[in-house]
Copies of this chain bind each other. A is one copy, B any other.
Amino acid sequence: MITSTVMGSGSWGTAFAMILADAGGKVAVWGINPEVTEAINAGHGNPVYHPGIPLPATVRATTDAAEGLTDASIVVLAVPAQVLRANLQRWGSQIPGEAVVVSLMKGIELGSTLRMSEVIAECTGVAPERIAVVSGPNLAREIVQRQPAATVIACSDPTNAEFVQRATITAYFRPYTSADVAGAEIGGSVKNVIALASGMAAGLGFGENSQAALITRGLAEMTRLGVALGADERTFSGLAGVGDLIATCSSPLSRNRTFGENLGKGMTLDEVEAVTSQTSEGVKSCQPILDLANRLGVDMPITAEVVQVVHHGLTPRQAVANLMSRSAKAE
């Protein structure tokens, strides 16, 4: 039996703990909210993110990071992207020396413009070949209903990717392995920004034609950034690229899409944040993604417009109009 620890009791971390347990593993979930950990230990599941959905009995929870990490052969990191470094500074040294570290996080660190796997390597000294990334069309609220889903597990060492694959394969969850860590991370990060733009367009009343064009252009700018970072272009035609992008831009369950839709309907950023219980990673990551693109000389017009809306007061209507009016040319 594989022993795993999920560091973070948010929506996706909790769903991933369910997958690990359903795949036959023994799972500890670490979280900072004692109400959540107590509810999980009492057999009630996570009342904040997945109310009414119990977790398997092989999932236990703790607020003690060091205790939670004991004996883990897989350590899953599922904290918000922008606080990963601060978290690792507290308990990163407790990660067992032989564990495979799995990142569920989607984002680029503000300031450093590092990807999550790079922050993990830098803060913990874990070798890159022991760091895997999970990315794909995986809306957590469907996963906890055990609806069929597929994902990509990317790791530079195929043995470690296959180890995580074995630890997560269930009747409803199908993980595919890949060696393209950078591609999976860029796909997972940029999709949140494109979903904000797609949501804005929806909120403004634009239909499927406009949104499909926007998503297609979003895929192109995501691919350009990934390729500039050494990713495999084909990753973006797969589950961790276009697959995740479609699910995130299409679903009313997507927090980034919903956030953008509220902006498109005319709410201010503060108003949207006030009504949103979960993190909009796209709002936090759009600036570091644009910084990274600028540093690499990559053109990301949709991301640039989202940054203008989020940080510089541009109206969503003007942002979408700017994107739609780019001149006609060869594709």
Contact = CB atoms under 8 A, between A and B. Distances in A.
Nearest to A234: B331
Which residue, A152, A177, A207, A238, has most C-beta atoms of chain B within 10 A? A207
Given A148-B324, A219-B237, 15 more contacts: A136-B213, A137-B208, A137-B209, A139-B207, A142-B207, A145-B207, A147-B209, A148-B213, A149-B210, A211-B247, A212-B244, A212-B250, A213-B239, A215-B242, A246-B250
A34 B202 CA distance: 38
13 contacts: A139-B207, A142-B210, A165-B328, A208-B253, A212-B244, A212-B246, A213-B243, A215-B242, A216-B238, A216-B243, A219-B242, A237-B237, A246-B246
A223 to B, nearest CB: 7
Interface string A274-291: 000000000000000000
A330 B177 contact: yes
A68 B179 CA distance: 58
A212 B137 contact: yes
A220 interface: yes
Interface of A: 136-139, 142-143, 145, 147-150, 152, 158, 165, 169, 174-178, 206-213, 215-216, 219-220, 223, 236-239, 242-244, 246-247, 250-251, 253, 324, 328-331
Nearest to A238: B331
B207 A331 contact: no
A247 B330 contact: no
B147 A331 contact: no
Nearest to A233: B237
Contact of A148 (B145, B165, B209): B209
A329 B176 contact: yes
A242 B239 contact: no
A137 to B, nearest CB: 3
Contact of A147 (B138, B207, B253): B207
Per assembly, the copies of the chain total 2
Given A137-B213, A213-B149, A239 B331 contact: yes
B169 A209 contact: no
A247 B178 CA distance: 28
A216 B303 CA distance: 23
A167 to B, nearest CB: 12
Nearest to A175: B328
Contacts of A210: 142, 147-149
A196 to B, nearest CB: 17
The residue in A145, A250, A329, A331 that gathers the most chain B C-beta atoms within 10 A of its C-beta is A331
A126 B11 CA distance: 59
Contacts of A244: 212
Contacts of A219: 237, 242
Contacts of A220: 237-238
Contact of A137 (B158, B216, B329, B331): B216
B246 A216 contact: yes
Nearest to A169: B328
A209 B178 contact: no
A195 to B, nearest CB: 12
